[in-house]
Structure 1
């Protein structure tokens, strides 16, 4: 904890004075362009990966970068999606999975989660990806896990499209969806090409999007 405190002290002493104008502007309003949905994993930091300044990203983080389908009892994720799209007017939504994801590892290994009932219930929102993953064969455990992560990104893109605000944005062509896969070891990012269903290097294909 002391490292965290010392980090804040450095921010207040060294970083904030260089960005006073930015924080004064942000103190009364925000206008992020993108809703970024990713995993709670400590190794995945959206602002670092995108080199975004404060105010640029509206972020949802949870185990497995999951977005439950819209339902009669919307939860915190649904409320955040709705606010980002309908109130803040974000123009893009990114759902970003990552290599070595603990949540997806538990699914691929069929880990017994009876002692973690909340986790088990949450991961049911990835059942479609799980079914696809189990129907295929892979050359290695790493390949199976990476495929599960990507299939989960696709599944969550489908889930988020059931949210009314998102459906309206897509229909009116004011909103685009993006599916990303971040490889922690290489620092590389793959992006889902909605036309082909393939994940391609974002560095080489910066123009592609999922929906």
Structure 2
């Protein structure tokens, strides 16, 4: 039986949405009904704690969002299989002419926990999906074989962002747009432990603070070595 309390909660939430974005005094959908023109695409994790619209304080129409387990971008594989992430990327780049793609990783990601620590032999889809991040795990095994589990996971999550950025460049129409200067790629990492937002600096090969933690002590750069 569907919980009536849950439906009431969703109904109240939708009413607040209406009042904020749709009621006559502040109806941004007057313009959005004609079409969308988001300023960025975000590849984010399905984790309920890391909604990019909420984290970036975006409004409806600002972001074209792709969410999946562990915020992964699969490689370019034009075949007859179903490719939800690739289809969304293609629509955003080739039809919406998006100018920015952000891959947003985060701390304490359950997908990377499953990759590093837990055997899910009964899972029908999770193991296959997370095999996309095996390169990240291999880098962690190579560079941090004796590190504690938390450090290994954090590094693996960051490598996941980096390899997803690499995979994006494997899509011809993304690479061509980047080379023409029409599209920029960005790597972000949300540290739930500190509240910090880190940015991947390709020149330094490091994640550096983009927005410092709320606490007085800011975190230092985290370098992920090849």
Instruction: Name the TM-score, length of structure 2 as normaliser.
Output: 0.85
Following TM superposition, the consecutive aligned residue runs of length 4 or more in structure 1 with deviations greater than 6 angstroms are: none
1:207 — aligned with what?
none
Corresponding residue to 1:158 among 166, 171, 176? 166
In 2, Cα distance between the equivalents of 1:35 and 1:14?
Answer: 23
* Residue aligning to 2:50: 44
- The CA deviation at 1:143 is 1.2
Match of 1:142 in 2: 150
Residues 14/75 of structure 1: CA separation in 2 closer, same or farther (3 Å cut): closer
Gaps of 5+ in 1: 205-211
The answer for the alignment partner of 1:132 in structure 2 is 139
**Shift in Å, 1:127:** 1.3
User: Which residue of structure 2 aligns with residue 27 of structure 1?
Assistant: 33
Structure 1 residue 51: deviation in Å?
1.3
Q: Mean Cα displacement is larger for which, 88-97 or 3-12?
A: 3-12
Which position in structure 2 is the counterpart of 1:16?
22
Matches within 5 A, 1:70-149: 70-73=76-79, 75-109=83-117, 111-137=118-144, 139-149=147-157
- What is the match of residue 195 of structure 1? 203
Judging changes above 3 Å, is the alpha-carbon distance between structure 1 residues 57 and 13 closer, same or farther for their aligned structure 2 residues? closer
Number of residue equivalences: 202
Q: Which runs of 5+ in 2 are unaligned?
A: 1-5, 213-226
Q: Distance in 2 between matches of 1:144 and 1:115?
A: 25
Larger radius of gyration between Structure 1 and Structure 2: 2
Partners of 1:5 and 1:133 in 2: CA distance: 45
Quick one: which of 48, 63, 82 aligns to 2:69? 63
TM-score normalized with structure 1 length: 0.90
CA 7–192 in structure 1, closer or farther in 2 if over 3 Å, else same: same
Q: Secondary structure at the match of 1:117?
A: coil
1:53 to 48, 51, 59: 59
Matched with 1:185 is 193
- CA displacement, residues 67-93 of structure 1 (integer Å, 9 cap, x when unaligned): 110112260110110111111111110
